Structure 1
Amino acid sequence: MSELTKTVALFVLSNYFTILYSILALWTLTLNYVKNIFLSSSSQKRKLEPPACLFDPKYGLHKYIKVNNVKLHYVESGDSSKPLMLFLHGFPEFWYSWRHQIVEFQKDYWCIAIDMRGYGDSERPEKVSDYKLDILVEDVRDLIRQLGREKCILVSHDWGGIIACRFRDVYPEVLDAVILLASISRESWFKCVFSDFKQMMKSWYVFFFRMPYIPEQLLQLNNLNVFDKSMLVPGKDSITSKDIECYKYWFAKDFAFTYPINYYRANFAYSLPEKHLEENVPMLVAHAANDLYIRHSILDMMKKQYDYIETTIVKDCRHFLQQEEPEKVNKIIREFLIKHKL
């Protein structure tokens, strides 16, 4: 398929799915509005106080730093003289998604878990264009520089992995290793969408998020139960209702979903494959066996795109694997780092 054909096909399909899911979303919003007229008690206001577990000292210190003209919030734990392990979260998350990894690795690494721009307690630039992938990459590059380091181990999940892949393409010399959890490069995602219809169906929300205003309204319905549905797993207690309250605290705020969704709006258009520097950067991609959003076919795509890549599938696990199965994921990360003497 030629690049022109891909561009036209994506334009047609994306507009079809955008219109389809927007109609469904509007219908859902209308029903919810009518329901709340008669059942006003179902409309619940969120508490203004942050949950206490966000400030548990075992996770480290809360700090702020100005990078790439944006103020970022981050949590720091461990000895700053040890190797830097930098964590990039996904959608819709913030630094707290890495709580299990911070506790696991803080004795051996200097752990920094950030709220990316537009998330949590970090600054929220207004323009959609402020969330272009190359700008997000420069946030990470400037952060490492501001922290006084030349290299880091980059650990990422979901959208954080898209940024990590592009960072590896542009700045491989800054990386000791890059680890992706339930994620894929932007280039490989486009290839998967065109070659795997089931992956296209799993990616419905990417098309839907192109619409203004409607997606964020839908996500905030029913006391933000999108977090209960996507993160809580029956029979597992690694993600608790208290953890869910941490997410609801941040995402109940005004426009809290708008800026994270801008990551999709700013980077959706198909473009020619990006070149990447051929350097020996160890890369690990861990995929969740029961991921609701990404199919196993991503692993083959990633192997074609990158050399020095290792892949694994975490059994019995859904998309938020570092929270759902922290012991398994921590073991996989630890073994990978030991193998590469990091």
Structure 2
Amino acid sequence: MSTTPGLVFSRLECSGMILAHCSLNLPGRAPPHLTNFSIDSGLRFHYVAAGERGKPLMLLLHGFPEFWYSWRYQLREFKSEYRVVALDLRGYGETDAPIHRQNYKLDCLITDIKDILDSLGYSKCVLIGHDWGGMIAWLIAICYPEMVMKLIVINFPHPNVFTEYILRHPAQLLKSSYYYFFQIPWFPEFMFSINDFKVLKHLFTSHSTGIGRKGCQLTTEDLEAYIYVFSQPGALSGPINHYRNIFSCLPLKHHMVTTPTLLLWGENDAFMEVEMAEVTKIYVKNYFRLTILSEASHWLQQDQPDIVNKIDMDISKRRNKKKRLTFFYLLMQGLCNENLQQFFKKLFINFFMYYFGKKNCV
């Protein structure tokens, strides 16, 4: 299969998206939604954005082996309501990839997201993470709850659930065996790249692990986009170094989540047992909703984009409605002074008595 950027560029441009590497072909002419910026660490991050600046921020964190393109359906869907930003995480795609393994510790990845929000000019966001991006999203919500308005995680349990479950359930230990395989130097990168990235193709297309829903299966051009990104020199080492540092801060000392949380799960996930999703709720001290989609794979936002997008939007609207009701409740409970509170009480009593045809009693 060819990995020439021209073919990929023409395919994605026709779809209304621009692949990250297209700016290499068009120096100085990258479209406005294709952006690079530096954060305090000195690293240059790449992201693709949709929606007007000034709208609430929705930040999308991809998993492995993915890059911003895995969020193509969500970029289109949510741009009318949000400023939607799909990152290439540290070491992925067009984002800088430090050489040393220690540069991928979890605390570095968490700090990246904090600095990225600052660089984008936001103090908080709706945070959505899939797979490894879900792990980072959980940690952000735990460490910086003030930064997360709503947390949506796709196919990754609370980190403490994962570490405890994997030790007690051999089936999950087997499914997560690649975590241990990735601890080996250089060999995992070699295995991923041989035979024209056969392993990568298998993950997305096989009956056991891939996207099975008709109409959402990756096209030849989609696969070529993935292969192009991961075929660049050193492009696999950064992503795999994420896993080489997974034990750097687990289990967590502080683990409770106080952010409204939605957990989405594909029932046919070949890598994560669904029981972990059901246990996760004990770590969320706020609104929590678990939605398990039958006949859906691990790659949920690409496998069932219409359903995922609808659920995400529903949860956003529900929380906004609840926020308005909460404000009304707090107002009536005395956040305002007592005279104003009595005024509102009389006003509402008069309104309801008048509405139901009763005699005014105030």
Q: Decide which of 123, 126, 129 is 1:156's aligned counterpart.
A: 129
Aligned length: 298
1:86 counterpart residue number: 59
3-state SS of 2:98 partner: coil
Per-residue CA deviation, residues 15-43 of structure 1 (Å, 9 max, x unaligned), is xxxxxxxxxxxxxxxxxxxxxxxxxxxxx
Instruction: Please tell me the residue identity of whatever aligns with 1:144.
Output: L
Query: How far has the Cα of 1:50 moved from its partner?
Result: 6.1
Please tell me whether the aligned partners of residues 192 and 199 of structure 1 are also in contact (alpha carbons under 8 angstroms). Answer: yes
2:223 counterpart residue number: 244
Per-residue CA deviation, residues 252-295 of structure 1 (Å, 9 max, x unaligned), is 1122111100001012357443204663x111111111001000
Per-residue CA deviation, residues 138-167 of structure 1 (Å, 9 max, x unaligned), is 110011111111110001100001101110
Q: Decide which of 74, 91, 95 is 1:101's aligned counterpart.
A: 74
Please tell me whether the aligned partners of residues 172 and 277 of structure 1 are also in contact (alpha carbons under 8 angstroms). Answer: no
1:282 counterpart residue number: 260
Instruction: Please tell me the residue identity of whatever aligns with 1:199.
Output: Q
Instruction: Please tell me the residue identity of whatever aligns with 1:51.
Output: V
2:33 counterpart residue number: 61
Per-residue CA deviation, residues 183-231 of structure 1 (Å, 9 max, x unaligned), is 1233221111012221111101011111011111111122112232221
2:277 paired with 1:304? no
2:334 counterpart residue number: none
| Structure number with bigger Rg | 2
2:162 paired with 1:183? no
Please tell me whether the aligned partners of residues 192 and 297 of structure 1 are also in contact (alpha carbons under 8 angstroms). Answer: no
Q: Percent of pairs identical after alignment?
A: 33
Matches within 5 A, 1:4-83: 46-49=3-6, 51-52=8-9, 53-55=11-13, 58-59=16-17, 61-67=33-39, 68-83=41-56
Q: Decide which of 186, 190, 199 is 1:226's aligned counterpart.
A: 199
Query: How far has the Cα of 1:304 moved from its partner?
Result: 2.0
Q: Taking structure 1 as reference, are residues 166 and 235 closer, same or farther at Cα in structure 2, changes over 3 Å only? A: closer
Instruction: Please tell me the residue identity of whatever aligns with 2:224.
Output: E
Please tell me whether the aligned partners of residues 287 and 296 of structure 1 are also in contact (alpha carbons under 8 angstroms). Answer: yes
Higher relative contact order (CA 8 A, sep 6+): 1
- Aligned-CA RMSD value: 1.9
Unpaired runs of 5+ in structure 2? 18-31, 206-210, 322-362
CA distance in 2, matches of 1:212, 1:50: 33
Instruction: Please tell me the residue identity of whatever aligns with 1:58.
Output: G
2:253 paired with 1:295? no
3-state SS of 1:117 partner: coil
3-state SS of 1:85 partner: strand
2:27 counterpart residue number: none
CA distance in 1, matches of 2:273, 2:303: 18
Please tell me whether the aligned partners of residues 160 and 255 of structure 2 are also in contact (alpha carbons under 8 angstroms). Answer: no
Query: How far has the Cα of 1:57 moved from its partner?
Result: 7.4
Instruction: Please tell me the residue identity of whatever aligns with 2:271.
Output: Y
Q: Taking structure 1 as reference, are residues 69 and 285 closer, same or farther at Cα in structure 2, changes over 3 Å only? A: same
1:20 counterpart residue number: none
What is the TM-score normalised by the length of structure 2?
0.78
1:34 counterpart residue number: none
2:239 counterpart residue number: 260
3-state SS of 1:263 partner: helix
3-state SS of 2:224 partner: helix
More divergent stretch after superposition (45-54 vs 221-230): 45-54
Unpaired runs of 5+ in structure 1? 1-43
Please tell me whether the aligned partners of residues 76 and 111 of structure 1 are also in contact (alpha carbons under 8 angstroms). Answer: yes
